[in-house]
Structure 1
Amino acid sequence: MARWLPAALFVLGVALELSTPREVTISAPFAAAPLAAAAFLSLWSTVLTGVLSSSATLLFAIFHDNGSLIESEARSLTSVTVSVVAVGVNYVLLRSGSRLASARGVAEAVQLAVLPTPPSHVDDLTLATRYRAAQAEARVGGDFYAAEETSHGVRLLLGDVRGKGTGAVAAVVLLVGVFREAAEQEETLSAVAARLDRALQREGRRQTGSAQLEGFSTAVLVEIPNSSGPGSGSGQDTGRDGGQDGGQDGGEQDDGKVLRIVNRGHPPPILLYQGRTALLEPTMPALPLGMSELGKWPEHVDEVAFPRGAQLLLYTDGLSEARDADGVFYEPAERLDHSYFTHPEELLETVLIDVAAHTGGQAVDDMALLAVAHHTGPQP
Structure 2
Amino acid sequence: MKHIRANPVVVLRGVPVLMILGGAAADLFGPEPYLGLPFLASAPLVASVLFRWRTSIVTVAVVGVIVAGVDLRLRRPVTPLLVDLAVVLLVSVIGLWVKWLMDRQSRHLAVAQDIAEAAQRAVLPDPPTRLGSLQIAARYEAAQAEAQVGGDLYAVRATPFGVRAIIGDVRGKGLPAVSTVCQVIGAFRHEAGRAATLSELADRLHNALTVEKDPSKVDHFESFVTALLVEIAPDATKASLLSRGHTAPYLLRTGEVTVLEPSAPGLPLGMDLPAADGAARPDTVDWPPGATLLLVTDGITEARGRDGTFYDPVVGLAHIRSSNPRELVDSLARSVTRWTGGQRQDDMAVLALKPAP
What TM-score, normalized by structure 1, do the two folds share? Answer: 0.79
Residue 373 to residue 199, structure 1, CA distance change in 2 (3 Å): same
Residue 55 to residue 358, structure 1, CA distance change in 2 (3 Å): closer
Aligned match of 1:135: 144
Shift of 1:116: 0.9
Q: Deviations over 1:67-100 (max 9, x none)?
A: 3444323211101111211121111111111111
Aligned match of 2:282: 301
Aligned match of 1:270: 250
User: Are 2:198 and 1:218 aligned?
Assistant: no
Match for 2:37 among 27, 38, 43? 27
Cα-Cα RMSD: 3.1
Q: Deviations over 1:142-193 (max 9, x none)?
A: 2111122334332211111112222212111211121122223434333321
Residues 159 and 266, structure 1, Cα contact 8 Å, conserved in 2: yes
Residues 16 and 44, structure 2, Cα contact 8 Å, conserved in 1: no
Aligned match of 1:244: none
Give the counterpart letter for 2:134 in structure 1: L
> Aligned partners of 2:258, 2:183: CA distance in 1, in Å?
32
Match for 1:367 among 337, 340, 348? 348
Shift of 1:202: 1.1
Aligned match of 2:63: 53
Residues 45 and 95, structure 2, Cα contact 8 Å, conserved in 1: yes
Aligned match of 1:247: none
Match for 2:207 among 195, 198, 219? 198
Aligned match of 1:330: 311
Match for 1:288 among 264, 268, 284? 268
Residues 24 and 65, structure 1, Cα contact 8 Å, conserved in 2: no
What TM-score, normalized by structure 2, do the two folds share? Answer: 0.84
> Aligned partners of 1:6, 1:217: CA distance in 2, in Å?
49
Give the counterpart letter for 1:283 in structure 2: S
> Aligned partners of 2:32, 2:309: CA distance in 1, in Å?
62
Residue pairs, 1:177-196, within 5 angstroms:
177-196=186-205
> Aligned partners of 2:343, 2:299: CA distance in 1, in Å?
11
Residue pairs, 1:103-252, within 5 angstroms:
103-204=112-213, 206-227=214-235
Residue 45 to residue 208, structure 1, CA distance change in 2 (3 Å): farther
Shift of 1:211: 1.8
Gap regions ≥5 residues in structure 1: 228-255
Q: Deviations over 1:224-262 (max 9, x none)?
A: 2324xxxxxxxxxxxxxxxxxxxxxxxxxxxx5321211
* Bigger Cα displacement from structure 2, 353-362 vs 180-189: 353-362
Aligned match of 1:316: 297
Counting aligned pairs with the same residue, the percent is: 38
> Aligned partners of 1:171, 1:362: CA distance in 2, in Å?
25
Residue 257 to residue 362, structure 1, CA distance change in 2 (3 Å): same
Shift of 1:264: 0.6
Residue 191 to residue 55, structure 1, CA distance change in 2 (3 Å): same
> Aligned partners of 2:87, 2:321: CA distance in 1, in Å?
65
Give the counterpart letter for 1:101 in structure 2: A
> Aligned partners of 2:260, 2:15: CA distance in 1, in Å?
58
Match for 2:48 among 29, 38, 43? 38
Residues 266 and 288, structure 1, Cα contact 8 Å, conserved in 2: yes
Shift of 1:198: 0.7
